[in-house]
Amino acid sequence: MKKLFKITTPEGLHARPAALLVTAVTPFECEVQLTYKEKSVNLKSIMGVMAQGIAPESIVEISAEGPDAEQLFQTVTELIVSKGIGEEC
Protein backbone atom coordinates (compact mmCIF):
# COMPACT_ATOMS: atom_id res chain seq x y z
CA MET A 1 0.00 0.00 0.00
CA LYS A 2 1.16 3.52 -0.81
CA LYS A 3 -0.08 7.02 -0.24
CA LEU A 4 1.24 10.49 -1.09
CA PHE A 5 1.14 13.36 1.37
CA LYS A 6 2.05 17.02 1.10
CA ILE A 7 3.84 18.34 4.20
CA THR A 8 2.29 21.60 5.36
CA THR A 9 3.91 22.35 8.76
CA PRO A 10 5.81 25.65 8.48
CA GLU A 11 9.16 24.13 9.52
CA GLY A 12 8.80 20.98 7.47
CA LEU A 13 8.89 17.50 8.96
CA HIS A 14 11.02 18.56 11.94
CA ALA A 15 11.41 16.92 15.34
CA ARG A 16 7.92 17.34 16.73
CA PRO A 17 5.82 16.11 13.78
CA ALA A 18 8.42 13.47 13.02
CA ALA A 19 8.18 12.28 16.62
CA LEU A 20 4.38 12.13 16.37
CA LEU A 21 4.56 10.04 13.21
CA VAL A 22 7.22 7.67 14.51
CA THR A 23 5.38 7.18 17.79
CA ALA A 24 2.15 6.43 15.92
CA VAL A 25 3.57 3.81 13.55
CA THR A 26 5.97 2.04 15.91
CA PRO A 27 3.34 -0.26 17.51
CA PHE A 28 2.31 -1.67 14.09
CA GLU A 29 3.67 -4.97 12.99
CA CYS A 30 4.12 -4.11 9.33
CA GLU A 31 7.17 -2.46 7.85
CA VAL A 32 6.66 1.13 6.89
CA GLN A 33 8.78 3.35 4.67
CA LEU A 34 8.85 7.04 3.97
CA THR A 35 10.17 8.06 0.57
CA TYR A 36 11.36 11.56 -0.20
CA LYS A 37 13.40 12.60 -3.21
CA GLU A 38 13.75 8.94 -4.20
CA LYS A 39 15.29 8.00 -0.88
CA SER A 40 13.41 5.63 1.40
CA VAL A 41 13.80 5.41 5.16
CA ASN A 42 12.19 3.39 7.94
CA LEU A 43 9.28 5.49 9.29
CA LYS A 44 9.80 3.88 12.68
CA SER A 45 13.22 5.60 12.86
CA ILE A 46 13.12 9.20 14.08
CA MET A 47 16.74 9.60 12.99
CA GLY A 48 15.99 8.33 9.53
CA VAL A 49 12.99 10.60 9.12
CA MET A 50 14.69 13.69 10.45
CA ALA A 51 17.83 13.05 8.45
CA GLN A 52 15.73 13.42 5.30
CA GLY A 53 15.43 17.12 6.07
CA ILE A 54 11.94 17.32 4.63
CA ALA A 55 11.06 20.92 3.79
CA PRO A 56 7.54 22.41 3.94
CA GLU A 57 5.43 21.88 0.82
CA SER A 58 7.33 18.68 0.00
CA ILE A 59 5.55 15.60 -1.28
CA VAL A 60 6.39 12.38 0.55
CA GLU A 61 5.28 8.82 -0.09
CA ILE A 62 4.43 6.49 2.76
CA SER A 63 4.33 2.79 1.94
CA ALA A 64 3.60 -0.18 4.17
CA GLU A 65 3.58 -3.93 3.71
CA GLY A 66 2.16 -6.34 6.23
CA PRO A 67 -0.91 -7.68 7.99
CA ASP A 68 -1.96 -4.41 9.65
CA ALA A 69 -1.00 -2.05 6.81
CA GLU A 70 -4.54 -0.89 6.23
CA GLN A 71 -5.06 0.00 9.86
CA LEU A 72 -1.71 1.76 9.87
CA PHE A 73 -2.72 3.96 6.95
CA GLN A 74 -5.91 4.90 8.71
CA THR A 75 -3.97 5.97 11.81
CA VAL A 76 -1.27 7.81 9.85
CA THR A 77 -3.74 9.68 7.64
CA GLU A 78 -5.81 10.75 10.62
CA LEU A 79 -2.75 11.92 12.49
CA ILE A 80 -1.26 13.85 9.57
CA VAL A 81 -4.50 15.68 8.92
CA SER A 82 -5.62 16.28 12.52
CA LYS A 83 -2.22 17.52 13.73
CA GLY A 84 -1.75 19.80 10.74
CA ILE A 85 1.36 17.96 9.57
CA GLY A 86 0.16 17.70 6.02
CA GLU A 87 -2.62 16.72 3.64
CA GLU A 88 -3.41 13.82 1.36
CA CYS A 89 -2.48 14.29 -2.27
Partner 1 sequence: MLEIQGIAVSEGIAFANAYCLKEPDLSFEAVKVTDVHAELERFKAAIVKTKVELQEIYEIAQEKFGAEKAAIFAAHLLVLEDPEMLAAIEAKIQTGMNAEFALDEVSTMFIAMFEGLDNVYMQERVADIRDVSTRVLAHLLGVEMVDMNRLTSDVIIIAKDLTPSMTAMLDTKYVKGFITDIGGKTSHSAILARTLEIPAVVGTKHATQDIQHGAPIILDGTNGKIIVNATSEVSSFYRQQQHLHNEEHEELLQYRSLPSLSADGFSIEIAGNIGKPEDVDMVTNAGGDGIGLFRTEFLYMGRQELPTEEEQYQAYKSVLEKMQGKPTIVRTLDIGGDKQLPYLKLATEMNPFLGYRAIRISLTQQEIFRVQLRALLRASAYGHLKIMFPMIATLDEFKMAKAILLEEKQNLESDGYPVSETLDVGMMIEIPSAAIIADIFAKEVDFFSIGTNDLIQYTLAADRMNENVSYLYQPYHPAVLRLIKNVIDAAKHHGKWVGMCGEMAADEIALPILLGFGLNEFSMSASSILKTRAHIAKLSKQQLMPHNERILLLSTASEVEEYVKNNLLSLS
> Which residues are at the interface with partner 1 (CB under 8 A)?
11-12, 14-16, 19, 22-23, 26, 41-42, 44-48, 50-51, 53, 55
Catalytic, 84? Answer no
The Cα–Cα gap between 23 and 12 comes to 18
- Count of CB atoms situated within 10 Å of the CB of 70: 11
Compute the CA torsion angle 85, 2, 88, 67 (nearest 10 deg).
-70
Q: Name the catalytic one among 6, 8, 12, 14.
A: 14
Nearer to partner 1, 39 or 88 (CB): 39
Task: Report the residue number, 58 or 88, with the smaller CB distance to partner 1.
Answer: 58
